[in-house]
Every structure is written in C-alpha cells, then in structure tokens.
C-alpha cells in the first residue's frame, strides 16, 4: 500500500474520530495532505469504498490492541478494566470510537457500513461474553450484560467527548469492577 494511501486513511480516521463521519471528505483529506481532491480519487474509487475500508481496518486494529493488552490476563475483572482503558485512551486522544461515529451518522453511512458496525459491536459483545465466562455475575444473562457493558462504554465515551476529564468513563470502569466476584 502506498504511503499516500495510508496517510489518507489515517487522516480520514482521525477526522471521523475527532469530529463526525461527514468530516472525511476527499477535499478535506487532500487539503490536510497538500494534494488535490482529484488525487485522492486515484487512491480510492469513491468515498463509500474508503469508509468501508476504514471500518474494517478499525475493527482489526481495535481487536489486535485488545488482545495484546489482555494476552496474559485471565481475570474477568482485569480484562474488563483493560477494555475500559482502551476507551479512556480514546478520550485522552480526544477521539470517539470510529464505529460510534458511523452508528451516529444514520443514513449517511451505507447499508454495508452499518452492517460492518453491527459486526464490530457483535464481536465486541462476544469478547465481553467470553471474558465473563469465568465470572460470578449479577442475575443477568451474559449476552444482555455484554450489551449493557458495550453500551455503557460507548455511551460514556460519547458523553465525555468534550469534557476535560473522562468522568463517565471512569465511573463505568469502576462499575465494571463491581460486576464480578472472583
């Protein structure tokens, strides 16, 4: 993959994670990189193709980071804390979850992109479910609890977005540590 193509993908990802899906226009990406928007078209057939690729890359990168930070951890409590830490890191970088930006975009995202976001969320919920297999839990089924945990983290990141401190994310992280008795 060319350096320019990779730089364009990085710019688009940062624009979306810092702002909205709409911020990733070929014109804006070209402006940031110092090239014409027509040159951006050389690297990507169209904006939808670029956005679809970004979601796929984000999912791969997110789960690679998650697996890396949890590789030697078996404790459900510690694994959930590592997951919360990824969201807190996003806040510190003043970024939202890329998939949250796509979900918030509604009809601006294509059906394929919305499907890819749903796949990311299902995969994240499955990771949480797997993490909870060895935990003693509240009287809520693991699939539902996994959905609540993912929703709490995504929502806290969104609500803390313009705040200097990630108070909701920190509260969510503390709450996660109360869910298991090991």
pLDDT the model gives residue 23? 87
Domain parsing of the chain, residue ranges: 3-177
Q: Are 161 and 148 in contact (CB under 8 A)?
A: no
pLDDT the model gives residue 13? 95
Q: How far apart are CA 145 and CA 52, in angstroms?
A: 29
51, with CB counted inside 10 A (0-12, 13-18, 19+), is: buried
For the chain, 182 residues long, the average pLDDT of each consecutive 10-residue run is: 88 93 89 89 90 95 97 94 97 94 89 94 97 81 93 96 94 89 55
Q: How far apart are CA 9 and CA 51, in angstroms?
A: 9
Name the CATH code of domain 3-177 (choices 1.20.1730.10, 1.10.357.10, 3.40.50.300, 3.40.50.1950).
Answer: 1.10.357.10
What stretch of H or E contains 97? Answer: none
* pTM assigned to the model: 0.90
């Amino acid at each position: 993959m060319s350096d320019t193509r990779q730089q364009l993908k990085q710019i688009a990802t940062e624009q979306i994670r810092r702002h909205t899906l709409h911020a990733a226009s070929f014109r804006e990406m070209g402006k940031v990189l110092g090239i014409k928007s027509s040159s951006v078209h050389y690297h990507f057939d169209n904006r939808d193709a670029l956005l679809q690729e970004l979601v796929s890359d984000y999912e791969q990168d997110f789960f690679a980071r998650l697996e890396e930070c949890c590789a030697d951890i078996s404790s459900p409590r510690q694994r959930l804390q590592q997951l919360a830490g990824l969201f807190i890191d996003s806040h510190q970088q003043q970024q939202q979850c890329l998939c949250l930006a796509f979900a918030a975009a509604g009809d601006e995202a294509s059906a394929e992109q919305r499907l890819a976001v749903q796949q990311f969320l299902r995969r994240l919920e499955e990771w949480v479910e797997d993490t909870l297999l060895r935990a003693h839990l509240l009287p809520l089924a693991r699939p539902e609890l996994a959905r609540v945990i993912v929703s709490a983290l995504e929502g806290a990141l969104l609500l803390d977005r313009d705040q200097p401190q990630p108070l909701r994310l920190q509260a969510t992280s503390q709450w996660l540590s109360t869910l298991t008795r090991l």
